Chains A and B, each alone.
Chain A
Amino acid sequence: MNPLTLSHVLAAVLALSVSGAGIAGPREDQLAAYAAAAKAANPAFAGFSAARGKTLHTQSFGLGKPDTPACTSCHGNDPRGAGRTPAGKTVEAMALSVSPTRYVDPAKVEKWFKRNCNEVLGRECNAQEKGDWLTFMAGQ
């Protein structure tokens, strides 16, 4: 099997595994872990909210670095559209419907939450914020 075909098969398998309803994948597992952590931090936690995730994504905080007051500073206002870093690099759309291969590597997700929350909020995000944001993007 040549590498191109192999990568196509892999992409297809990935796409199936993230879009298949009811099939638990890495994204669902990560969300479940965030939910457990959110519940532990706040017993009143009653599930993630895409609406809160949207607010987190679009609100201008201005608490981190001056060039990045909001997530949308780099990701753009439309979650289904591409964004751009200050150094001019294109960032693929965050919406799962447009970038179905996103959010399958929990370490990668954590890496970017850590960096980007610090840049925008001046602190790390908590489990509830991460889950809200992921829920918002998964529905986009």
Chain B
Amino acid sequence: MKLPRNFPLRPFALGLVAVAFSAILFGRAQAGGSHYFPPVADPLVKEECGSCHLAFAPSMLPASSWQRMMANLKDHFGDDASLEPDVAAKIADYLVSNAGDRGGQRYSDKLLRGVSAGNAPLRITELPKWVREHRKVPDWEWKHKEVRTRANCTACHVDAAKGYYDE
């Protein structure tokens, strides 16, 4: 194919680069879609699960994990988070029905890959996918006074409370 003599080659090449670059960005943005975990919408759950830490999205764990967690609030990762039984039951219902292998399934498929409901992990930060995604975070960053614990998502993911966990 012969290009016309006055074909604007340089603008054309620049245009191609721009298109390729946007395609990469768009691809990332789409991948970012799997970094969205709808935040807790129920006011009771938000209040009771969000006073000490971010109210973690129910889709981040399977139903069996939430059942196990809600059955032992007396020792909640070393803290006493016990609630009145009727309140605890309402919260457990919400977490279970929106869990990553129930209502929240379409948000959790990647995060919960390789996690069997039988394992019922309690810590989101021990899910294989979580560990892989955070493997490049150096130790000093975890120990930073604004971070201090792996449960402090919002220290780095500024929009975590809205459900977005992109960088």
Contact = CB atoms under 8 A, between A and B. Distances in A.
A21 to B, nearest CB: 30
Interface in B133-167: 146-149, 151-152, 154-155
Nearest to B78: A65
20 contacts: A65-B79, A85-B51, A86-B149, A87-B53, A87-B54, A87-B148, A87-B149, A87-B151, A88-B53, A88-B151, A88-B152, A88-B154, A89-B50, A89-B52, A89-B53, A89-B54, A111-B83, A115-B79, A115-B82, A119-B79
A87 B52 contact: yes
Interface in A82-140: 85-89, 91, 107, 111, 114-115, 118-119
Nearest to B161: A89
Contacts of B82: 115
A119 B51 CA distance: 15
Classify chain B's interface size: 20 to 34
B81 interface: yes
Nearest to A112: B51
Contacts of B79: 65, 115, 119
Contacts, number: 41
Contacts of A119: 79-80
Contact of A85 (B52, B78, B83, B84): B52
Contact of B81 (A86, A88, A89, A115): A115
Most interface-central of B79, B83, B146 (chain A CB within 10 A): B79
Contacts of A111: 83
A5 to B, nearest CB: 18
Contacts of A89: 50-54
A114 to B, nearest CB: 8
B80 A88 contact: no
Given A115-B80, A118-B80, A88 B155 contact: yes
A119 B76 CA distance: 13
Contacts of A114: 80
A115 B50 CA distance: 15
A20 to B, nearest CB: 26
Contacts of A118: 80
Task: Find the residue from A86, A87, A119 having the highest chain B CB count within 10 A.
Answer: A87
A59 to B, nearest CB: 21
Contacts of B147: 88
Nearest to B52: A85
A119 B81 CA distance: 11
B46 to A, nearest CB: 12
B148 A86 contact: yes
Contact of B152 (A87, A107, A115): A87
Contacts of B152: 87-88
A37 to B, nearest CB: 20
A117 B10 CA distance: 72
Which of A89, A91, A107 gathers the greatest number of chain B CB atoms within 10 Å? Answer: A89
